[in-house]
Structures are given as structure tokens and as C-alpha cells.
Structure 1
Amino acid sequence: MKVLILGSGVVGTTSAYYLAKAGHEVTVVDRQPAAAMETSFANAGQLSYGYSSPWAGPGIPLKALKWLMMRYRPFVIWPRPDARLGWWLAQMLANCNEDAYRLNKGRMVRIAEYAREQLIALRAETGIAYDDRQRGTVQLFRTQAQLDHVGDDTAVLGQYEVPFEVLDVAGCVAREPALAAVSGKFVGGLYLPEDETGDVHQFTQRLAKLCEGLGVTFRYGTTIRRLTVEGGQVSGVETDAGLLTADRYVVALGSYSPALLRPLGMNLPVYPVKGYSITVPVTDEAAAPVSTVMDETYKVAITRLGDRIRVGGTAELAGFSSTLRAPRQRTLEFSVGDLFPRGGDLTKAKFWTGLRPMTPDGTPIVGATPLPNLFTNTGHGTLGWTMACGSGRVLADLVSGRAPEIPSGDFALSRYSRDGVVGRQAQAA
């Protein structure tokens, strides 16, 4: 069967890999000159299986107001007329309750843990390397209130048998020895031993080469214009290089997926949440992180990638803006400089921004659509790298007509409504 995948980020490329392994003739289309050149280019670098959580949760609206007032704020909204943002925020607020949080986190952990198993198998089969480490993640709490609420997350981790350890200060230092120099700045942490780290750009580009070895064709530098529909199904994809056709189509365009599907009457609740990162060279091995430290107060991830430190964070609601804003860099530099003051050379920091495709409930939209030969694999938010192998394998099984190895019905667009269209507000937006 011929399958056309739209998008060559980590999600589109892993989808291509698993579809090719399933025996399909796969073509990947992307406007960029190579794989992983947009959101998958320089993310925070952690594979956060146990840390997979929805942003919407109890108390988040109040916390968001406090974050907006912080000097080094993890959350920023740029006031602008944007009906889709208002619609998306309303849906996110509707998920800020205990029942929704447990439901959403449960399915996010389900796909994340499956992704971990798939990546381990892929790595063993191919020998792919990407500055990867399997050393776990420390979620670092600067306040007692943060530590006191750790049970909110560990209850779900226990339900899905995800290993964890609640740490005191000494425990955090044992996992990340460089933190001994700043031990007065935190009160404890949560250790997730099965989390990993790695350079998603390296991984995706090297996986694309492996895909080519399996017969996958990558059509880079090709702009996608629209989907054509005939007889109740997709008949082709109009591009600046002409019409491309296949038997099955997969939309993996991240934040740009809704614009492609909206003319077909499908309103994906995916909004671009802008994130930033800096990459700095390691100057002192002993003073640098071993793996990933998640600074819970500033929502900043500090990750070791070979001889570099990747620092990622900030949620900025600014539409599709790609402007690099200096205050966001200062937040990242403050967090890493405060916790690892001698670890890296901030004067050589490389500053980057990307658009995370976020759903209001945190779960990606993976699976069938109202059109029988059209599928989606998008909306992973900050967890595209974490969930890519899991959602890619699930997507490949669904396209192939096989039942996935994990329950997947609640990943599809249909979870928002029976007919796959997200309410009247979506139509108006």
C-alpha cells in the first residue's frame, strides 16, 4: 500500500519507519531541506516518560497568573486578536480539574511508556546513536509546597507501574553530584529512573537515513498547499511540485496540521505553544548535569547532550511568531546558571525557538479521521520526542489495519466528539 506522510519531524519520520517496516511504500513530504528542521531541531532533549503530564490540571489557572508575574516567568501571553487561541484556552480550562487530569495523564503515560519500549527495541535493532543516555530524570523542587504535592503525580505513576523515587536533598545530589554546590536552593525531588536523554535532531536525521534504506522516499523542499477530496476520501495532496497521490495519507505537520484539515470540516484543537532553548558547551564535566534536571519552579529542563548542555523551557502564546525574545533567553540562562554555575559557557549559548503543537488535554491526536484513508499523528506538545516511537508504531498499526498493542481509541480525533468535529465554537473560530 502507498502511504504519503506530510511532515518530516520526529513524529513523521518515526511514522515512516514503522510503516516501512510493515511493508508499505512510503513517501514523506516536507517544505524543509532535511528532516527535523523545525520543532524537532533543538528541543530540551529529554525523553520524559514518567514526567508525561498534561499542562491542564487542578490549580493551573491560579498558577498561570502567578507565573505571569514572575521575573523569570515560564508562561507568557502576547495579547492579540486570536479567536482560535480563545477557543483553545477555554477547552484547556475545562480540563483543569482532578478527574480530567487523572484521565489525561493516564493515557499520556500509557503512550509514553509504550514509546519507551519501542525506542529501546529500535535502538537494539539498528544501533542508532544520538548523544543518548539512559540515566533518568530528576524533577527538582525548590519549595516545600512543590514537594508536598508530589503525590498527585506518583499516584498515576504507581497505577501504570512506572518506577519512581521521592528524593531528599542528599538523594538529589547522589543522582546529580554537581547540585552539591547549590544544595541550599532546593528541598528535594522526584527521580524517574527510566527516563532518557538524547538529541532529537540527530536521532531524526539518522532515522531518516535508515528509512531510506528501507525504501522510504523523502521529498524535501516541497510546499504542501491543500488536500483534495473525491468520493468521500482524500484523492491527493496539492503541492508546489504538483499533485501527489497515495492509498493512505498521514498528517504529521505539528502546529500546522489544523490549517490543512480545517477546509475539510475537521477542527483539530491544536495550538502552537512557543518554546525556547539554549545550547551551551560544557566547560567542567564535574559541574555539569549527568542527565536531565527539571527545574520545577521555572519549568526549565537542563539536559546533558554529549559535550553540550541543552536548556529548554517557556510556554509563550504568540501565534506562529518565530521571533527570538531576549527575556526568554535570560530565563533559561538564569535557571542553568543558578543550578550549574560552572557547568557551561553561557557566553557561547546558541538561542533557538520552536512551536510545540499542543492539545488542550495534553494527549496527541493519533489515528483515524472522518475520511477513511486519512490519519493524523500530531498534537504532542512538549512530548513529541518522548512519544514519537509509540505514536508512530500505533499509527502504523492502524494504517495497516492491525489492532495496536495498547488501547488507542482515545488517542483519535473522535474523542472530542462523535463526528470528529470539535463543537460549534470550533466552527466559528
Structure 2
Amino acid sequence: MTLQQLLRSADTSLDETVALLSDLVRIASVNGGPEGPGNESEVARLLAAKLAADGVASQLLEARPNRGNLVARLDGGSAPSLLYMGHTDVVPAEDAELWRYPPFAGTVAEGYVHGRGAADCKALVACETMALLILARQHVPLAGSLILAAGADEETGGQHGFAWLARHHPEAIRADCAINEGGGSPFFVGGRKGYLINTGEKGRLEASLRLDGKGGHAATPWAADNPIERLPELLMGLRRHQIVPDLSHPIFEVTSEVFQSSLTRLLQVDFGDLSRSERGLVSALRGASRMTITPTMLLGGVKSNSIPASCSVVCDVRTLPGQTAADVMAEIRAALGKVESVQIELQETAEPSESPYPTPFSQAIERATAAAVEQPDLLWIPGLTSGFSDSRLVRPLGTTVYGFAPQSADPDALTPEGIHGRDECMPIESLRVTLRMLVALAWDMLVAH
């Protein structure tokens, strides 16, 4: 079996991959909010049935009822092992009436698969499942083992998913190398194409900023101290605060060499003025350059005719590798300046983490991607995932993990949309590219040549 034969098998399996993704989207495995507590076991059972139809055994490992993780493997020899990883839970769809297509219908239209989870992260899970099945169907002899792990609960931290697997079933998911969500955005410079490969991810904390005052009746505001009136000062302090950029990540050195342009310009240019092909790279640069503190929720008051004694602003905080809660506290205090009576509480959700780069694994990804998109001279830039993922839970097992699910390298191609928002969808062309890359990566790493 040659690489070209495997790639042709991937191409002929594209319709099957689209159908699998559509089926996965139809399962409302919503994690959090009023719509449900995960229900990832139903996704795992669908995947298990798909694998079993081709004689591939799998395990359903549940941290608790309906919070299921699926693990399957093709055993090989003593060569380095490869883990395909992804998650099966999704965020709430909120008001389904506002979507172009129903969020849990799995509609295939206009070159996309539409629905909640189509891009985050069921597309990757579908491609990984199909890549493993292609190798199984072709009876490709493996020199190293290939493992598929579809985990629960990523959207709220992974405690019922990869964190639980790493604690209770480490032998099921331990591998030398792993591929996960988080990277794969293309960029274009000087007529050449390139990709971002994410080598690590930022940490996450939740900051609650409570303004205290004195409650009272809304009809006599002079007798109270309304903390809501101080909210604008607090919010403007956060908005105006300039966090000093940290340009120590390898992305900045490589970007300077590739683009031969000012990093300052790339970091300060108005994001709305960028072309679609530029936004992925500039967003990655900004995310890798600084801590972010973003207000996301306002809490205060219980009745319209009562002045509350306190109100709160909840912020999403993303930290760079090496930054601590003390660094976050220092930035928040600097931003708030002279705002009075503010109580700050921090809760850590995920620690930052990263894998070494470059490595033989990253070089195998580069070769596999070049084969997948038929472009031998691709440019490569290491990135940092702004959001947390399950990669941080697998790295302590000794696994080198990169976030990489490549989109099409055509600058006019459709791109994923609506992740964590309305009208989420995944381009079918990007499914094709990701599937081809995964098959080529397994062939490069696990098949004796």
C-alpha cells in the first residue's frame, strides 16, 4: 500500500466522512447551560457502532452515566505511537430560532456541514475516525500503534473526559505523539502558502470583580450607595489598560523571518481592516503576545425597585505559559487603578502548557500536510492556542501534543464559521484536507517504508 493509494482512499471516503459528521451533529451533546449535561455517551456509541461495522473494537469508558469517552486502537509494533484525539461535547446553541439552519439537524448545504459542534470539534473526530477506518479497511501493517480517543467534557474543563482518562485509564490513551484541535489556519505571503501549527495553549482563569455599596429603595437613591453606577469606571479601566506584549514565543521570531515586516504593525493594525487570509495569523500573534482580560458577564440586582448592595463583573482571563494568578491579580489592580471598593476573586480553570518544537513529530506533520495539499514548499509558523483544550491533560503522560487540523490552503476557500456562536459550520473542503493529512501522518509515522 502506497501513500498515494491511501490518499485516494481518503478522497473516495469524503462523502462518508460528511455523513458521519452530520450524524454526530444530530446528537445534542450539549455541555452546560439549561440544554443538558453532556450526553457524550450517545456520541461514543455511534462511533463504536461505526468502528464495529468494520471489525474495529472500542471501549466506552464513562466517568459517570452519560459522560462517555470512546477509545479504539490499531495495535502495531514498537515504533512511536500516535494518538488521534478530539472532544464530543458542544456548547449550548442558545436561541435555535436565530440560526440559518437548525443547530442539531446536521444540514449539508452550500459546501458546509451546518450545526453546533460541526467545527468544534466533531469535524476532527469524524476525520480521525475515518482515517483509522481507512487504515483498517486497507489492512495496512503498522510498525507503531494508532489510538483514537474521543473525549467528553472538554468545554467545561475535561474532568469527565481526558482528565478522568489520564487519572483512571492512562494506559488507554498514552502515546508518544498526539494530534488535537487548535491549529491549522492557513496564511499566505509572497505567493506562498503556509500553516500555523499550535505547540501549546494559554491558561484560563475566571476573575470575579465585585463592587460593594449600600443597598436601598430605588425611590430614595440618595440614601443608598449604588455600586452599579461605578460599573462604567471599572469597565473603562479594563478597556483602556495596555498589557505589555511578551514576544518570547517562537511564533514571533519565525513570523519576522517569514514576513520580513514589523511585528508592531501586525500587532496593532485594526483587525477589521485585515483581509480574511490575514486574520488567522494576526489573531494568533495577538493571542501569543499577551494576557487577555475580557469582561463577559454582569451580575447585579434582584428587583427593579431595589438598589443592590453589590454587583459583579465576571471576566475571562487567558494567560501565557509561565504566567501565574499573581500576574493576573497585578494586571487587574493596575487596570482598575482608583476604582473603590472592588473585591477580586480568581478561579483557575486550566493551566497553560506547551510541547517542544521543532521535533521529529512536527516534521512528520509538515510532510503529511505537504502530501495532503500537494504543496511541497509550505511555510510553517508555531502558534499558541488562545483557548484551552484537552492537550494540557495529555502532555503530563509524556506525550508531545500539537493542535493541528488543517483547513484548505486555497485563499478563496470557505472557512469554518460560528464556533461558539450562531450558524456554526464546517467546510467540506477542509474535511477533505484534514482527512488526507491524518491518513498521510499515520502512513509517515506508523507504516514501515
Q: Is the structural similarity TM-score above 0.5?
A: no
TM-score category (smaller protein): under 0.3
